[in-house]
């Protein structure tokens, strides 16, 4: 594994319309890996100038597997929903879903 002065191990950029997604794998001083997911969205200000809104999510090694399972599950569900059409989509949560009434303001 190559490390530079920023502990960056690997980066992947995905461009999608007005959004760009960055997948940055970094290492800690103890050589544990973590992932930073960044969404960057180009916006136009009232004066016509452009700026970027960025949102970051840090994912640590102890959460990799649960994150992967959750992502694979929702992507599989999206694929199955595409096949049945919008009229028949069941938006109820399965029994094993994690649901909470905590709002972001509570955090």
pLDDT computed for residue 92 by the predictor: 62
CATH number 3.10.450.700 is the correct assignment for the domain at 8-61: yes
Q: What is the average pLDDT score of the chain? A: 84
Q: How many CB atoms lie within 10 A of CB 32?
A: 11
1 has a pLDDT exceeding 50: no
Domain boundaries, the chain: 8-61
CB atoms within 10 A of CB 64: 13
Q: Please, what's the b/e burial string for 67-86 (b: 16 or more CB within 10 A of its CB; e: otherwise)?
A: eeeeeeeeeeeeeeeeeeee
Q: Which of 44, 49, 55 is nearest to 21 (CA)?
A: 55
pLDDT of residue 82: 87
pTM given for the model: 0.68
């Amino acid at each position: 594994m190559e490390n530079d002065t920023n502990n960056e191990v690997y980066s992947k950029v995905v461009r999608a319309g007005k959004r760009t997604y960055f997948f940055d794998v970094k290492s800690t001083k103890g050589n544990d890996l973590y992932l930073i997911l960044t969404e960057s969205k180009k916006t136009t200000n009232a004066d016509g100038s452009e700026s970027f809104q960025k949102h970051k999510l840090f994912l640590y090694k102890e959460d990799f597997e649960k994150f992967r399972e959750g992502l694979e599950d929702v992507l599989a569900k999206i694929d199955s929903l595409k096949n049945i059409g919008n009229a028949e989509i069941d938006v109820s949560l399965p029994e094993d879903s994690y649901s909470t009434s905590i709002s972001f303001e509570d955090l």
